[in-house]
Amino acid sequence: MTRHPRDHLAFRRLGRGFLPYAFMALPVVYLGIFMFWPLGRQIWLSLTRTRLTNPNNSTFVGMDNYERLFASGDFYSSLGITVIYSGVVVIVGVALGMISALALNRPFPGRSVVRAVLLFGWAVPNVASALIWLWIFNERSGVLNRIVTGLGLDRMSWLTSTDLALPSVLVVTIWQVAPFVMLVMLAALQSVPEEVQEAARVDGADRLNVFRHVTLPHVMPMLQLVSLLVTVWSIRRFDIIYLMTGGGPVGSTSTLIVRLRQIAFENYDLGLASAYGVIGLILALAVAAVHATFSRRRAKGAAQ
């Protein structure tokens, strides 16, 4: 029995209609199992009284965990540290990465070696980075205190002082983040059309004006994207902070994520820890919303 040509045509159209859904099915299932289900589970746990010692025995308490969270001074302390930590990492890390990219965007002898050296901080695993910097910051045998005492100053407690612990952790984080920003922005700078920059120079524009009116608008989308990524990574960063200070001393480096770990695995309170996680998620979504707003305005301005 042979099929009518119309049947073949209808079958092919039906296949084309289902083809996009077939390609999307696997990623949707993957995201559903490994992302949305755990996320939904976390939001549900934040509305329950659940102990780590018996996680399957939950009691629904509504917004009780959020009321405890907003009444706690530790929460506002962690929120403030998270905002300061993320803000400094984004501003200084992105600025240093951008300056490094501009410096490496022009040819000079040994550029490949300099680029490889600058990428070292990003390429080294976090645990190895923490070990390196723990030795550098060591109060007794660290190289930093040897330099300080060589200058005639007293030894400093880089990681055990409430005044110096957060700046020390920030130095390590920026040392890791800036090379990544440099790599991304260097690729963006090398995509700027040379003829457009040359035309601006012919019209009498100096280097600053060429950068301001030609280069910066071209790389701005990538600069905004990398700023968004660094912000979200900073909000959720745990390993470097915990490995170097454990959130101390006296909670001076305890961000929301570090506090979440302490509440979940030291106080065994999964409900309250989940509420901390939801607040961190809301922060990250707020940053993404700001990025989307700026992107929409930039696209609208470019279209006019």
Confidence grade of residue 164 (pLDDT, cut at 50, 70, 90) = very high
Of 223, 172, 186, 214, the C-alpha closest to 100 is 186
H-state helical runs in 237-269: 239-244, 256-265
* Gap between the Cα atoms of 122 and 119, Å rounded: 5
Q: Across residues 210-223, what is the average pLDDT?
A: 87
* Gap between the Cα atoms of 227 and 92, Å rounded: 11
Q: What is the pLDDT of residues 245-260, one digit of tens each?
A: 988 888 899 999 999 9
Contact 162, 249 (CB under 8 A): yes
Q: Across residues 121-133, what is the average pLDDT?
A: 88
Contact 250, 163 (CB under 8 A): no
Q: Kindly state whether residue 247 falls inside one of the protein's structural domains.
A: yes
Confidence grade of residue 3 (pLDDT, cut at 50, 70, 90) = low
Q: Kindly state whether residue 244 falls inside one of the protein's structural domains.
A: yes
pLDDT at 92: 95
pLDDT at 255: 93
Q: Kindly state whether residue 57 falls inside one of the protein's structural domains.
A: no
Q: Is the pLDDT of residue 2 over 60?
A: no
The residue that leads in pLDDT, 19 or 268, is: 268
Q: Kindly state whether residue 13 falls inside one of the protein's structural domains.
A: no
Specify the CATH number for the domain of residue 243.
1.10.3720.10
Q: Kindly state whether residue 12 falls inside one of the protein's structural domains.
A: no
**193 φ, ψ (degrees, to nearest 5):** -60, 125
pTM of the model: 0.86
Q: Kindly state whether residue 26 falls inside one of the protein's structural domains.
A: no
Confidence grade of residue 11 (pLDDT, cut at 50, 70, 90) = low
Q: Kindly state whether residue 195 falls inside one of the protein's structural domains.
A: yes
* Gap between the Cα atoms of 226 and 220, Å rounded: 10
The total of structural domains in the chain comes to 1
* Gap between the Cα atoms of 121 and 179, Å rounded: 7
Mean pLDDT rounded to a whole number for the chain: 87
HEC assignment per residue over 30-54: HHHHHHHHHHHHHHHHCCEEEECCE
* Gap between the Cα atoms of 186 and 174, Å rounded: 18
**266 φ, ψ (degrees, to nearest 5):** -115, -40
Q: Which domain holds residue 295?
A: 63-302
* Residue-wise burial string across 43-60, b where 16 or more C-beta atoms lie within 10 A, e elsewhere: eebbbbbbeeeeeeebee
* Residue-wise burial string across 190-205, b where 16 or more C-beta atoms lie within 10 A, e elsewhere: eebeeeebeebeeeeb
pLDDT at 119: 83
Q: Are strands 54-60 and 48-51 parallel, antiparallel or unpaired?
A: antiparallel
